[in-house]
Amino acid sequence: MVSIPSELIESLRHAKHVVATTGAGVSAESGVPTFRDAQTGLWAKYEPTELAAPRAFHKDPKLVWEWYQWRRDKVLSVHPNPGHYALVELGSRWPKFDLITQNVDGLHQQAGSQNVIELHGSIMTARCFDRGHQSEFWPESSEQCPPVCEICASLMRPNVVWFNESLPKRAIDEAMRASRECDVFFSIGTSSIVYPAAALATNALESGAVVIEINPNETPLTSMATYSIVGPSGIVLPELLAKLAGEFR
Ligand code: BV8
């Protein structure tokens, strides 16, 4: 049983605009390794932040492409967990709700969340590195690794935002605005160390929102958050939903 303060439920009862921001932790209970988990197998000797960068792709495009192929195969083999589904339900409880994610796995959409703001792109599709030509499907190619663009023959890359690449302008602008306008801001399953995503919670705090962190571990946000619920999101979010349902009945 997770301890959720009654004042927190009260804040949610009166909220008009709620924002939830998620990180890799929300997919952990689906079996997707978090971003900073010890990499398994072949990838044990690489730091994710060293692979998720243009420099790494230029240095060894085959290695980086294979890393994403491995991650994408993993994501395609799992399903959303109770935390993803609880966020779908929670999303319908307030007049305005924004779901913002750093995740590239598409599991929120698979669970049924609409209008998900993907800050760091998606591992589901690819584009060419030089000209950005989008490929409708993930290019499978046995001859070449990475596959090449059918239009300009430059190397294909996953549609994710790498370190030292700018986030999609519309996504980050929408997320920044939502974090400044909301009454309640959830930070769920993120280490809160990657920027500009990590700035959303402090934006919300500075704008007077109630900030609720859900994470089994401490992060740089924990000491600043209004509430910190220590636990896995796949357990905490359904419990929160049940308490709210009880409240609203
Ligand atoms: C940019 C996509 C401008 C690729 C990713 C300000 C200060 C300091 C540094 C910077 C700054 N501004 C910019 C930077 C540089 C950099 C940065 O932030 N570096 C960090 C490392 C210090 N940021 C950038 O480069 C960004 N771009 O600013 O552009 C620019 C333009 C040109 C030139 C220069 C700058 C781009 C950042 C995006 C990078 N791409 N992903 C891919 O996925 O391969 S980031 C990557 O980290 C993932 O997206 C991931 O989502 C994200 C954050 O990680 P988390 O999601 O938090 O995952 P993590 O594993 O860290 O933590 C999991 C958490 O879950 C833990 O807390 C754990 O306790 C918890 N957990 C575990 N189990 C559960 C759980 N929680 C709940 N339930 C559970 N069951």
Taking 70 as the threshold, does the pLDDT of residue 247 lie above it?
no
| Contact between residue 129 and residue 154 where contact means Cβ atoms under 8 Å apart | yes
pLDDT tens digits, 187-245: 999 999 999 999 999 999 999 999 999 999 999 999 999 999 999 999 999 999 999 98
**Residue that the structure tokens 């779901």 belong to:** 99
243 lines ligand 1 (CB under 6 A): no
Taking 60 as the threshold, does the pLDDT of residue 249 lie above it?
no
Angle formed at CA 86 by CA 219 and CA 248, multiple of 5 degrees? 110
Structure tokens at 105: 């796995």
Give the mean pLDDT of the chain.
93
Q: Tell me the best of 159, 163, 173 to mutate to test the pocket of ligand 1, counting ligand atoms within 8 Å of each CB and taking the most.
A: 163
Q: Among 177, 178, 197, which residue's Cα sits nearest to residue 188? A: 197
Taking 80 as the threshold, does the pLDDT of residue 110 lie above it?
yes
pTM of the model: 0.95
- Confidence at residue 117, expressed as pLDDT on a 0 to 100 scale: 98
- Confidence at residue 213, expressed as pLDDT on a 0 to 100 scale: 98
Taking 50 as the threshold, does the pLDDT of residue 9 lie above it?
yes
Residues 6+ apart with CB under 8 A from 127: 133, 134, 135, 156, 157, 159
Q: Which atom of ligand 1 is nearest to the CA of 236?
A: 78
How many C-beta neighbours within 10 Å does residue 120 have?
22
C-alpha 77 – ligand 1 centre gap (Å)? 23
The larger pLDDT score, comparing residue 111 to residue 141, is at: 111
Instruction: Identify the band that residue 138 occupies on the pLDDT scale cut at 50, 70 and 90.
Output: confident
pLDDT tens digits, 14-62: 999 999 999 999 999 999 988 877 677 667 778 888 899 999 999 999 9
- Confidence at residue 44, expressed as pLDDT on a 0 to 100 scale: 76
Q: Which residues of 187-223 are buried (b: 16+ CB within 10 A; e: fewer)?
A: bbbbbbebeebbbbbbbbbeeebbbbbbbeeebebee
Q: Which residues of 122-151 are buried (b: 16+ CB within 10 A; e: fewer)?
A: bbbbbbbbeeeeebeebbeeeeeebbbbee
